[in-house]
Structure 1
Amino acid sequence: MTAPEEPGVETVIAARGGDQRALDDLVAGYLPLVYNIVGHALGGHADTDDVVQETMLRAVHGLSGLRDPASFRSWLVVIALNQVRERHRRQVPAEELVDQADPGADFVDLTILRLQLSGQRREVVAATRWLSADERELLSLWWLAAAGRLTRAEVAEATGLSPQHAAVRIQRLKAQLDSARIVVRALSQQCLALKEVLGDWDGQPSALWRKRIARHVRECPQCGRHQNGLAAVEALVAGLPLVAVPVTLGHVLTGSAKPVVAAAVAKPWYLAAVKPVAAAAAAVAVTTGVIVALPSTQDEPIPQALAAVATTTAPTTTTTTTATTTTTPPTTPVKATTVKAPPVVPARKSAKKGVSTWTFPGVTDALKDVHAGWFYTWAAGPEKVAAPPGVEFVPMIWGAKSVTPSTLAEAKKNGTTLLGFNEPDLAEQSNMTVEQALDLWPQLQSTGMRLGSPAVAFGGDKAGGWLDRFMTGAAARGLRVDFITLHWYGGDFSPAAVGQLKSYISAVQARYNKPVWLTEYSLIDFSQGQARYPTPEQLAAFATGSTAMLENQAGLERYAWFALPADKPGTGLYKDGRTPTPAGIAYRAAGPS
């Protein structure tokens, strides 16, 4: 099966705008590229399919936030590498994997079999087993560049290196690959001395054994011949097609995707949430003929992406999920209901109560009517949102590129409290390593403002999670973090959701012993393959119950609903400046008891 042609910029633009057929073509066209990158990078590990699946899901969910459609391929490659690195960080032992790969059917074997390779091409592919994890990561990009599937500029961008530095690393990689090719040859025709060297070898390729065997070849008169006649590796790789994506992983099909979806939704990681636009996009991947199977070996729920923010300058935000244990969401479909006009409830002012927002018609009136004490826009400035008297704007430094003297000065001018990086644990959001965030943190601290931690998408209460490692590093470096910021989205629309949210906040408070700000929260369920929203009555009930709990939660300084505008389907509070939704009416009534 030949790989589909990669779609052009027009397809990316159409898919980003909600065109289902375009999204179908986009996923089908780029899935083989991602599969080959991840396959080479992981060396045929059993997690390969899971990492490919998660990469494609994150790309689909984050598409609404892609600003430059021409950069889609480069952006997708970066997401794939981030997922590979995340897999390396977790280092799940093979014996703990739920689904073991067939040892005879890993990516190396599949490449040899499906491309019908022989001779030195077969040796090159087999040699990739002997590379280290870092070497395989670079190999995955260089291999596709040599085959004409990526540009050298994209390789440099994906690795975060200058073109010159990337070229140097590629030369070193090719030297290691040639060494591994010699090892493959030597193992196929072992002399007696080599058999003695291999006496305590466990049969698993490793960098250490590659060096030992290569040293033997250099010193052995009989094995030295294996060094002769190596063809240039670029010539061997050039023109090789991509390895076809296995049917079990997902490709363009005709007919219904329902059987795959039915199997996928039984997976436990689905107790998650998506925000509106991305949810619709994700549904396309399983309803228009593109089957993107969903990962089942994750320890944590997978966050989804956020609806596009309606302003041209404010960064988009993404979905977040609760990391706490939740009850299983209702499996029966939510039927449309006619909502009776609720009784008029007086508004109450709360210093705790806030909202996240972008600009929309009547935003100032809505801020005043909801009686919020504060708001933010995911930016250092209010982004054309005029605050009513007495409503505080809280600036944010969204990501690494926002850490500039001018942006920090703007934040300091606009407030006294500063929110840290937005969902740095997500590739499609601020996408930062813990070390990068810690290195930049002193610049935020230098503003003298009160500082909120980076707001992770999920897992804020987990030992060894992104936030836990950041807080440990901050303490070790003597950095200041004044309070913890959290995001939470629940997929259980029953009254139990309030308790689940409370449990998550309490767990985070117990871990870090600091005040907490809940800067995004609401109800959205993605467990059935597409976004499922609560009924207006359920959402209003949750707004009432959650705000009553949050107002009385000791140590919780502030909370903010996602989001103030209801200009898109979802969980918004105000259709315009004077028309609250039922949830908006309930949220407006929130305040100190």
Structure 2
Amino acid sequence: MIENRRRGPDPGVVTAARAGDRPALERLVDQCLPLVYNIVGRALNGHADVDDVVQETLLRMVRGLPKLRDPSAFRSWLVAITIRQVRNREQSRATDRDRRAHLDDAETITDPALDFAGLTILRLGLTEQRREVAEATRWLDPDDQELLSLWWLEETGELERAELAGALGLSDRHAAVRVQRMKKQMEVSRCVVRGLGAEPRCAELDGIALPWDGMPSPLWRKRFGRHIRGCGVCAGLERGLLPMDRLLSGLPLLAVPVSLDPARVVALAAEGSGSGGGPRGPRGRHGRTARRVARRVARKQIVVGGSAAVAVVAVAALVAARMTAGPTAPAAATDPPPTPVAVTSSAAAPSPSASPSPGPSESPSPKASAKPTPSKHTAAPVQVASGAKKGVGVWTFGGVSQALAESGASWYYTWNTQHQGVTTPGSSSFVPMIWGASSVTDASLAQARAAGPYLLGFNEPDMAQQSNMTVEQALGLWPKLMAAGKVLGSPAVATGAATPGGWLDRFMSGASGKGYRVDFITLHWYGGDFRTPQAVEQLREYLASVYVRYHKPIWLTEYALIDFSQGTRFPSAQQQAAFVTASTKMLDGLSYVHRYSWFGLGADASKPSSGLFTNGTTATAAGRAFQAAR
């Protein structure tokens, strides 16, 4: 079949599909999917609703095709349907936002593996200015993101200006004005990205950013933009910016994976019923929630490869699941969701002998290892309690118990099976740890059994300065930890948890082969990039890669901004505080991160650190940010 990239499928194929030719219709759906997915994905910036909107758009296209009078206008008609569905989604959410505020907060979490800007930045290896443009898209308001998604496709040769204008319901001249206004906002956003990422950052801009939560938004774009326009220090940020059309034109569309069968989309359209034109399945609030849960489980278990086809794989899995297993089933090719691990109120922090990992964690791995096989050692599922994620690592210092209470941490640990002099506040619970080989004693295991439902495994066994254990040694001792009868976390490696053949990967493979139980993955992470958005994204990406590899809940039991690449370097107090605010918000939004703990509770007032309190009542800037986190 001949296809013109600008004008779309051959009118003859459209005519045949309109007349009921099933193979022609399947071919048409196959060709439409990349365009629709790119428009919706960029307009919604990888939101959890992307696949729902894409599917509904394709279904409406298939069902409305018999009414299309001019086959040569198919492409413009399809783009208009797509934009209408994006707007319908925004209007629907706006209508019930107040009524469902709490649920909406949970559903607005962008899947870390499928954020379009994040994919562009992290997966395609862009040059610095393309990286800045990709980051800048996050600062636009929804209308401009919608327009950018169309203009982007115009610049890459996928749309004509008439199609862009038609989709927006505007004349070509009015559309040109809108495009120019959007491009100006993008230029402001690019300068904001540069300003916030500058080293050293403008001191006045740093002050303005203190109450900022680290998440891009139109409101903060305007605030930062006003400062940049009138600041002598920031005045040169726009120098050397290349035109956006030159930067965007080199970015490819997301490719359609071979796993997507257009025949299934057509079959789903044929099965549809009801006035809404949607697929059969649960209706109303609970039905939508069930479908989103199934979708998010399916999407998070897709193994992310190095190609640009990542995001479309999610739609393929979703459509395949709904065609083969019913409308609420997750993708058939993915593993079942992980067993939930209980999260009760408690708090955490490091012991004097515990030191942070010596460097940032390695890049995420695209390859997933096999899940442990079920065995008699498998723990019973326990429900996750909300609001109990935030914890801190604790070592003894003057006023430690009062500081723990002031911190607002819901749980804590001491790298030990005992409280180490901490008087547990009523709002915080203690989690014991078997630190290393020498800690595997009857006395320590008895203390762990008496301390609550959880047990943390060995501390940084991949580090000579820490528990320093071989994989074989750890596996040999693991049955004794399982015998404690606790919900059991993996050994917490210092780096490279998602690395194929790394320490944790070999341990998990060995545990799988022996039928050993590991209920959740325990991680450490330290960031050497002190720019808040970049550090948060790097942490998010690392967590996502580990989840994709092992498909288990995650506890992040040590994390902070500390650069170990050349000695030990700390960020400014303001930078550490900004990271606390932004990272806790991000971590609270990741459903597979069940707990996290900051490193650590104690701080020395005489030197830089990542600590939260210098005594029982005096909080550092990071400590105040930690207190404010939910």
Q: Give me the TM-score of the superposition, normalised by structure 2.
A: 0.40
TM-score, normalization by structure 1: 0.42
